[in-house]
């Protein structure tokens, strides 16, 4: 077996431990909170790196998949079935671990789906939606694909903003902790911080291993081939439609998993997570990360999300990510990107820039 590909993970592990120790000893453990959140956002970045950098297909709708994951999990774990708690079915489901009973902060009893069940449901829902969207949309190329995925993201935003069970503009709060194992729980409570830091990295490393395995395989080569020339790839016998679709679904699953874990960590999710600006930001990070460079994407994913969460960019946050994208498009060699993709980016960003402007205006009105 080729172990070379895993070597950087050992280095990564050392860095992870090192950062934790430094934070603990300098009394700055609060930094870990933002690293944890950045790690979950990085799952989206890793998925997009496979989809954009390797298969050469752009998506401006991945915040939508993040939201689908987060909202599915949040809804199922906060829905209160206490009224039917006495029925036989509920009893059976409770016994099977599918439903679980807890008390919320006001001491009210809540019977809802257990986080594991919600997690699996979130992935299944994501896979179904990704297939349904991917089959028609991946026939499109360049800026048509960008626009279609952008549209998908906007639909998701509209749905979560406009639906009662999704909490409309407020989103869903009071999402319970996710007990991965009886002793391992995904939660934002500060006593669990170090534990959660390692849980988050463990999940990222699983995603990394999946990505590295895929990249270095027959499938990974085929994806690169599709990126290089779809016509030649088909002539070689690659089922390009299927490969693009599967990669799209996989990247959607990564995004959704990020959404699920971050929602449990934060204890809630709001509609801004599905926003087009979020999708654009993911694309910008993959671009600065080097498109097909999984390590570059991970690094930038952690760094830029961390800085954003620390409020480093202040009110200029969106300007920064827009700016990153423009600078990258203007000054970086076309080598990494395909010319067609560059135009698609530019067009999409130009068009969604307008939309964002309007949406931001609206959200400010809502807030006021």
Partner 1 sequence: MLLNIQKLNRFFGGLHAVNDISFSVRQGIIKAVIGPNGAGKTTLFNLITGNLKPDSGDIFFKDHRITPLKEHRIAALGISRTFQTTKLFSHMTVCRNVMVGRHIRTKAGFISSILNLPFTWKEEKEIRLKSLEILRSLELADCEDEDAHNLSFGKQRLVEIARALAAEPELLLLDEPAAGLNIHETEKLAEIILQIKNRGITILLVEHDISLVMGISDEVFVLDRGKMLAEGKPEDIQKNRDVINTYLGEGDA
Contact positions vs partner 1 (CB under 8 A): 1-2, 210, 213-214, 217-222, 224-225, 227-229, 231-240, 246, 250, 335
Tokens of 325: 């994208």
CA distance 5 to 269: 35
Q: How far is the CB of 326 from partner 1 (least distance, A)?
A: 24
In terms of CB distance, is 16 or 245 closer to partner 1?
Answer: 245
Closest separation between CB of residue 129 and partner 1, Å?
18
Q: With respect to partner 1, which residue has the nearer C-beta, 117 or 294?
A: 294
Token couple for 172:
């869903």
Compute the C-alpha angle 257/123/259, nearest 5°.
Answer: 30
**279 and 62 in contact (C-beta within 8 Å)?**
yes
Nearer to partner 1, 150 or 238 (CB): 238
User: How near is the Cβ of 210 to partner 1 at its closest, in Å?
Assistant: 5
User: Per this entry, what is the length of the chain?
Assistant: 368
Q: Which is nearer to partner 1, 220 or 258 (CB)?
A: 220
CB of 236 to partner 1, least distance (A): 5
Beta bridge partners of 148: none
Query: b or e along 32-70 (b: 16 or more beta carbons within 10 Å of the residue's beta carbon)?
Result: bbbbbbbbbbbbbbbbbbbbbbbbbbbbbbbbbbbbbbb
Nearer to partner 1, 148 or 215 (CB): 215
221 vs 310, beta carbon nearer partner 1: 221
Rounded to an integer, what distance in angstroms lies between the CA atom of residue 263 and that of residue 175? 7
Least Å distance between CB 44 and partner 1? 18
How far apart are alpha carbons 282 and 321 in whole angstroms? 9
Minimum CB separation from partner 1 for residue 333, in Å?
Answer: 11
Q: How far is the CB of 230 from partner 1 (least distance, A)?
A: 10
Three-class SS of residue 269? strand
Please state the closest distance from residue 219 (CB atom) to partner 1, in A.
4
Instruction: Compute the distance between CA of residue 4 and CA of residue 135 in angstroms, rounded to an integer.
Output: 35
Q: Nearest 10 degrees: CA dihedral of 125, 128, 133, 139?
A: 150
Q: Which CB, 165 or 206, lies closer to partner 1?
A: 206
What is the spatial distance between Cα 363 and Cα 368, in angstroms, rounded to a whole number? 9
Closer to partner 1 by CB, 240 or 305: give it. Answer: 240
Which pair of tokens denotes residue 50?
A: 């496979």
| Shortest distance, position 244 Cβ to partner 1, whole Å | 12
Relative to beta strand 109-113, strand 99-103 is: antiparallel
H/E stretch holding 46 reads: helix 30-48
CB nearer partner 1, residue 115 or residue 220? 220
Asked if residue 251 lies in contact with residue 50, where contact means CB atoms within 8 angstroms, the answer is yes
């Amino acid at each position: 077996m080729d172990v070379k590909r895993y070597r950087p993970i050992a280095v990564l592990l050392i860095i992870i431990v090192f950062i934790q120790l430094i934070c603990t000893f300098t009394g700055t453990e609060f930094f870990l909170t933002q690293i944890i959140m950045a790690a979950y956002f990085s799952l989206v970045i890793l998925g997009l790196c496979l989809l954009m950098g390797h298969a050469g297909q752009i998506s401006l709708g991945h915040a939508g998949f993040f939201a689908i994951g987060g909202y599915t999990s949040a809804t199922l774990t906060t829905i209160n079935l206490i009224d039917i708690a006495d029925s036989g079915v509920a009893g059976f489901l409770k016994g099977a671990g599918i439903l679980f009973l807890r008390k919320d902060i006001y001491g009210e009893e809540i019977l809802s789906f257990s986080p594991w069940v919600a997690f699996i449901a979130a992935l299944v829902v994501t896979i179904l939606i990704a297939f349904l969207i991917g089959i028609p949309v991946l026939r499109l190329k360049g800026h048509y694909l960008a626009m279609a995925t952008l549209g998908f993201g906007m639909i998701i935003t509209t749905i979560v903003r406009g639906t009662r069970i999704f909490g409309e503009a407020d989103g869903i709060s009071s999402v319970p902790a996710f007990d991965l194992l009886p002793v391992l729980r995904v939660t934002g409570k500060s006593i669990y911080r170090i534990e959660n830091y390692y849980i988050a990295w463990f999940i990222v490393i699983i995603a990394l291993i999946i990505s590295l395995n895929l990249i270095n395989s027959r499938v990974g080569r085929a994806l690169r081939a599709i990126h290089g020339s779809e016509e030649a790839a088909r002539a070689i016998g690659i089922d390009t439609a299927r490969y693009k679709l599967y990669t799209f679904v996989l990247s959607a699953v990564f995004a959704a998993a990020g959404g699920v874990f971050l929602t449990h960590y934060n204890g809630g999710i709001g509609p801004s997570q599905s926003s087009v600006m979020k999708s654009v930001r993911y694309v910008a990070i993959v671009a600065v990360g080097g498109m097909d460079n999984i390590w570059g994407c991970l690094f930038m994913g952690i760094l830029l999300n961390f800085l954003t969460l620390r409020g480093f960019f202040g009110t200029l946050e969106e300007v920064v990510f827009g700016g990153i994208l423009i600078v990258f498009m203007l000054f970086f060699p076309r080598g990494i990107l395909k010319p067609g993709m560059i135009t698609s980016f530019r067009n999409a960003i130009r068009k969604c820039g307008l939309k964002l402007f309007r949406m931001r205006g609206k959200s400010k009105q809502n807030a006021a």
